[in-house]
Amino acid sequence: MKITRGQFIKGGLAASATGLFSLGSLRSRLNAAEPPTYPGKMIGASHQLGHLLRQSNLSRASDELRARVVVVGGGIAGLGAARRLMRAGIEDILVLDLEEEPGGNARSGVNETSAYPWGAHYVPLLTEEARAVRRLFEDLGIITGKDARGLPIYDEYMLGFEPKERLFRFGRWQEGLVPAIGTTPEDEAQYRRFFSLMNELKTQCGSDGRRLFAIPVDESSTDPHWRALDMLSMEQWMGREGFTSDLLRWYVNYACRDDYGTVFSETSAWAGIHYFASRNGQAANAESDDVVTWPQGNGWLVARMAEPLGPRLRTRCLAMRVAVADGGVIVDVWDANESVARMIRAEAAILATPRFISARLLPNAIERMDPSSFSYAPWAVANITLDAMPEGKGAPLSWDNVAFDSPTLGYVVATSQELGMKPLSTVLTAYWPLSHKTPSEARQDALGRSLDEWQRIFADDLLNIHPELSGHIRSIDVCVWGHAMIRPVPGFIWGEARQRAREPLGRLAFAHSDLGGISLFEEAYTHGVRAAEHVLTQLSVNYDSEL
Amino acid sequence: MAPLLLVSVFVIATCGLIYELIAGTLASYLLGDSVTQFSTIIGCYLFAMGIGSWLSRYVNKNLLGVFVEVEILIGLIGGSSAALLFVLFEHIYSFHFLLYFVVTVIGVLVGLEIPLLLRILESRFEFKDLVSKVFSLDYVGALFASVLFPLVLIPYLGLVRTSFSFGMGNVLVAFWMLLMMRERIPGYRWHLGTAAIVLALLSAGFVYSERIMSFAEASTYPGKVILSESTPYQRIVITEQSGDVRLFLNANLQFSSVDEYRYHEALVHPALSAHPSPRNVLIIGGGDGLALREVLKYPSVAKVTMVDLDPEMTRLFSTNALLTALNGQSLLSKKLTIINKDAFTWLKEQRDNAGGGIYDIILIDVPDPSNFSIGKLYTVTFYKLLRSVTDEDSIVVVQSTSPLVARKSFWCVTNTLKAAGFETAAYHAFVPSFGEWGFTIATNKPYASPKSYPSGLKYLNVETADDMFHFAPDMAWVETKIQRLDDQALIHYFDEEWSKYLIY
Ligand SMILES: Cc1cc2nc3c(=O)[nH]c(=O)nc-3n(C[C@H](O)[C@H](O)[C@H](O)COP(=O)(O)OP(=O)(O)OC[C@H]3O[C@@H](n4cnc5c(N)ncnc54)[C@H](O)[C@@H]3O)c2cc1C
Q: Is the domain of A465 the same as that of A502?
A: no
- Amino acid letter, B100: Y
For the ranges A242-246, A506-510, B215-219, B221-225, the lowest mean pLDDT is seen at B215-219
Indicate the length of chain A as a whole number: 547
CA A352 to centroid of ligand 1, rounded, Å: 10
Is residue B251 very low, low, confident or very high in pLDDT (cuts 50, 70, 90)? confident
* Domains of chain B in sequence order: 2-217 (1.20.1250), 221-254 (no CATH), 259-498 (3.40.50.150)
Q: Does some domain include residue A48?
A: no
Q: Is the domain of A351 the same as that of A462?
A: no
pLDDT of residue A3: 37
Substitution target from A3, A9, A287 for chain B, most B beta carbons within 10 A: A9
CA A380 to centroid of ligand 1, rounded, Å: 14
How far is the alpha carbon of A28 from chain B, nearest alpha carbon, in Å? 14
Q: DSSP assignment of B224-280, as one string?
A: EEEEEEE-SS-EEEEEEETTEEEEEETTEEEEETTTHHHHHHHHHHHHHTTSSS--E
Q: Shortest CA distance to B84 belongs to which of B186, B178, B191, B218?
A: B218
- Last residue of some domain: A470, A486, A502? A486
CATH number assigned to the domain comprising residue A305: 3.50.50.60
Q: Is the domain of A359 the same as that of A448?
A: no
Is residue B497 very low, low, confident or very high in pLDDT (cuts 50, 70, 90)? very high
- The Cα–Cα gap between A102 and B225 comes to 58
pLDDT reading at B297 higher than 90:
yes
Which chain B positions have a beta carbon within 8 Å of A21's beta carbon? Answer: 206-207
Q: Is the domain of A380 the same as that of A362?
A: no
- The Cα–Cα gap between B339 and B316 comes to 15
Which chain B positions have a beta carbon within 8 Å of A9's beta carbon? Answer: 86, 158-160, 213, 219
Helix axes of B158-180 and B2-31: crossing angle, nearest 10 degrees: 160
Q: Shortest CA distance to B160 belongs to which of B350, B26, B317?
A: B26
- The Cα–Cα gap between A355 and A512 comes to 8
Q: Where are the alpha helices (DSSP H) in B301-447?
A: 311-319, 321-327, 343-354, 372-375, 380-387, 407-419
B155 CB within 8 Å of a chain A CB: yes
User: Strands (DSSP E) along A130-256, which ranges?
Assistant: 143-146, 152-154, 165-169, 172-175
| C-beta separation of B460 from B269 below 8 A | yes
Substitution target from A2, A4, A10 for chain B, most B beta carbons within 10 A: A10
Q: Is the domain of A187 the same as that of A325?
A: no
Task: Report the mean per-residue pLDDT for chain B.
Answer: 89
Substitution target from B340, B485, B486, B495 for chain A, most A beta carbons within 10 A: B486
B395-399 and B361-365: which strand pairing? parallel
Preceding amide of A36 cis, omega within 30? no
pLDDT of residue B28: 67
CATH number assigned to the domain comprising residue A250: 3.90.660.10
pLDDT of residue B32: 55
What are the tens digits of pLDDT across the range B436-456? Answer: 999 999 999 999 999 999 999
Alpha-carbon distances, residue B139 vs B22, B30, B42, B124, B132 (angstroms): 18, 29, 16, 21, 11
Ligand 1, atom 14, lies closest to the CA of: A120
- Averaged pLDDT for residues B149-153: 86
- The Cα–Cα gap between B267 and B429 comes to 9
Q: Is the domain of A423 the same as that of A527?
A: no
Count of domains for chain A: 2
Told to judge if B365 belongs to the known catalytic residues of this protein, a careful annotator would answer yes
Q: Is the domain of A158 the same as that of A265?
A: yes
Q: Is the domain of A150 the same as that of A219?
A: yes
Contact A380 CB / ligand 1 (< 6 Å): no
What are the tens digits of pLDDT across the range B396-406? Answer: 999 999 999 99
Specify the ligand 1 atom closest to the Cα of A319: 42
Q: Shortest CA distance to B397 belongs to which of B425, B370, B436?
A: B425
Q: Shortest CA distance to A294 belongs to which of A425, A456, A141, A168?
A: A141
Q: Does some domain include residue A394?
A: yes
pLDDT of residue A47: 64
Q: Does some domain include residue A13?
A: yes
Helix axes of A521-538 and A131-139: crossing angle, nearest 10 degrees: 100
3-class DSSP assignment, residue B26: helix
Contact yes or no for A9 and B371 at CB 8 A: no
Kindly identify which residue of chain A lies nearest to residue B499, measuring between CA atoms: A4
Interior angle at CA B167, CA B166 and CA B168, nearest 5: 85
Q: DSSP assignment of B137-206, as one string?
A: HHHHHHHHHHHHIIIIIIIIIHHHHHHHHHHHHHHHHHHHHHHHTGGGSTTHHHHHHHHHHHHHHHHHHH
Q: What string of H, E and C letters represents the secondary structure of A248-309?
A: HHHHHHHHHHHHHCCCCCCCEHHHHHHHHHCCCCCECCECCCCEEECCCCCHHHHHHHHHHH
Q: Is the domain of A266 the same as that of A306?
A: no
Q: Does some domain include residue A515?
A: yes
Probe target for ligand 1 pocket from A43, A358, A519, with the most ligand atoms within 8 Å of CB: A519
CA A163 to centroid of ligand 1, rounded, Å: 28
Is residue B77 very low, low, confident or very high in pLDDT (cuts 50, 70, 90)? very high
Which chain A positions have a beta carbon within 8 Å of B213's beta carbon? Answer: 9-10
What are the tens digits of pLDDT across the range B261-280? Answer: 999 999 999 999 999 999 99
Q: Can you say how many angstroms the Cα of residue A415 is from the centroid of all Cα atoms in its chain?
A: 19
pLDDT reading at B291 higher than 90:
yes
Entry pTM:
0.79
| C-beta separation of B421 from B437 below 8 A | no
Preceding amide of A504 cis, omega within 30? no
Q: Is the domain of A18 the same as that of A64?
A: no
Kindly identify which residue of chain A lies nearest to residue B217, measuring between CA atoms: A9
| C-beta separation of B99 from B24 below 8 A | no
Q: Is the domain of A408 the same as that of A511?
A: no
Which domain covers residue A330, as residue numbers? Answer: 55-110+299-372+490-538
3-class DSSP assignment, residue A115: strand
Question: Is the C-alpha dihedral spanning B398, B402, B408, B411 positive or negative?
Answer: positive
Catalytic residue chosen out of the listed positions B365, B368, B393, B466: B365
- Averaged pLDDT for residues B362-377: 94
Q: Does some domain include residue A123?
A: no
Contact yes or no for A11 and B156 at CB 8 A: yes
Contact yes or no for B233 and A422 at CB 8 A: yes
| C-beta separation of A248 from A174 below 8 A | no
Indicate the length of chain B as a whole number: 504
Ligand 1, atom 35, lies closest to the CA of: A73
Q: Does some domain include residue A467?
A: yes
Q: Shortest CA distance to A533 belongs to which of A516, A515, A511?
A: A511
Residue B325 backbone phi and psi in degrees, to 5: -65, -35
Contact yes or no for A162 and B374 at CB 8 A: no
| C-beta separation of A373 from A517 below 8 A | no
Residue B38 backbone phi and psi in degrees, to 5: -60, -45
- Give the contacts of A24 (CB within 8 A, at least 6 positions apart): A466, A467, A468
CA B498 to centroid of ligand 1, rounded, Å: 47
Contact A142 CB / ligand 1 (< 6 Å): no
Q: Does some domain include residue A311?
A: yes
3-class DSSP assignment, residue B31: helix
- Averaged pLDDT for residues B23-46: 79
Q: Is the domain of A187 the same as that of A314?
A: no
Contact yes or no for B206 and A21 at CB 8 A: yes
Of A13, A290, A420, the CB nearest to B342: A420
Annotate B228-258 with b (16+ C-beta within 10 A) or e (fewer).
eeeeebbebbbbeeeeebbbbbeeeebbbbe
Could you read off the pLDDT tens digit of each residue along chain A, which spans 547 residues? 333 434 434 443 333 333 333 333 344 444 444 555 899 999 876 666 666 666 655 567 778 999 999 999 999 999 999 999 999 999 999 999 999 999 999 999 999 999 999 999 999 999 999 999 999 999 999 999 999 999 999 999 999 999 999 999 999 999 999 999 989 999 999 999 999 999 999 999 999 999 999 999 999 999 999 999 999 999 999 999 999 999 999 999 999 999 999 999 999 999 999 999 999 999 999 999 999 999 999 999 999 999 999 999 999 999 999 999 888 999 999 999 998 999 999 999 999 999 999 999 998 888 889 999 999 999 999 999 999 999 888 999 999 999 999 999 999 999 999 999 888 999 999 999 999 999 999 999 998 999 999 999 999 999 999 998 999 999 999 999 999 999 999 999 999 999 999 999 999 999 999 999 999 999 999 999 999 999 999 999 999 999 9
Q: Does some domain include residue A121?
A: no
| C-beta separation of A354 from A361 below 8 A | no
| C-beta separation of B482 from A157 below 8 A | no
Ligand 1, atom 7, lies closest to the CA of: A120
- The Cα–Cα gap between B206 and A185 comes to 36
